[in-house]
Amino acid sequence: MFGHLKAEEFMNEIEGVALCGDRRAHVNSCRVCAQKLDSMRNVHDAVAMEDSGIPEPDWNDFRESIRRGLLARSVKRESAVRRWIGWSIRPAMAWGLSLVLLICISAGGFLWHVSKDAGKRSTAPVLPQQALSAADPADMETEVAAWGQTGLFEDLSSLQGPEVEQVRQALLAAVQNQKLEPQ
């Protein structure tokens, strides 16, 4: 409680609440606080004179009118919802509808994903004779050279259908050639 008075203490003094002894002694000894208190009293008195012509409202009637207005709005809001959808949505029904919608969307997404994966797997099998005839040694050297520049495992994992069979046949042929050659 050192220093000058706070705004709250000035307002308490103006409204008639007595200050404690040391604060009252400070106002009496401090010229700045005394001047500020006098100027605030003048402003307060001027504002109070302007408000003297305004009658005090009847607070009981005010509360009742607010209550009636709020009840009228709630009745209007409920009827507007009923007009819009034909029936009022209760919280349990809204949660149930949300749960059914969530299950339907999840099941639809899962089935779509499964059918999309099944479409990728359904390819016609390649006959071994077709794979062997397509495997030209010059083409194989070109492909091996290209694999050295890119990731070998990424290329192998991206192969599908006839390409997988062709690589399998080429590897089998290479293993058979190694068995035939003396070391």
d(CA 123, CA 167): 17
Q: Please check whether residue 45 lies inside any domain of the structure.
A: yes
Question: How much is the pLDDT for 139?
Answer: 67
Residue with tokens 């003297």: 52
Contact 43, 72 (CB under 8 A): no
Asked if residue 134 and residue 98 are part of one domain, the reply reads no
DSSP 151: -
Long-range contacts of 137-143 (CB under 8 A, 24+ apart): 140/170
Q: How far is CA 53 from the centre of its chain?
A: 54
pLDDT given for residue 182 in this prediction: 61
pLDDT of residue 89: 65
132 and 111 in a common domain: no
CA atoms within 13 A of residue 53's CA, in its CB half-sphere = 4
Residue at 52: amino acid letter: S
The closest alpha carbon to 164, from 113, 115, 109, 120, belongs to 120
% of the chain at pLDDT higher than 70: 67
Q: According to the model, what pLDDT value does residue 100 have?
A: 96
- Give domain status of residue 74, yes or no: no
Residue 73 lies in a domain: no
Pair 15, 37: CB distance under 8 Å: no
Does this model's pTM top 0.75? My answer is no
Q: Residue 26: which domain range?
A: 7-53
For residue 1, being part of any structural domain is answered with no
pLDDT of residue 128: 46
Residue 16 forms part of a structural domain: yes
Residues 132 and 118 in one domain: no
Provide the domain count of the chain.
3
Do 14 and 40 contact (CB within 8 A), yes or no? yes
Is residue 132 situated within a structural domain?
yes
Q: Is residue 86 part of a domain?
A: no
Q: Mean pLDDT for the chain?
A: 75
Which one is predicted more confidently, 183 or 52?
Answer: 52
Residue that wins the pLDDT comparison between 106 and 15: 106
89 close to 99: Cβ distance less than 8 angstroms = no
Burial grade of 132 (CB within 10 A; 0-12, 13-18, 19 or more): middle
Higher pLDDT, 93 or 126: 93
Residue 84 lies in a domain: no
Question: Tell me: the pLDDT tens digits for 151-165?
Answer: 666 777 777 888 888
Q: Are residues 20 and 46 in the same domain?
A: yes
Quick one: what percent of the chain has pLDDT higher than 90? 11
Contacts of 124 (CB under 8 A, 6+ apart): 161
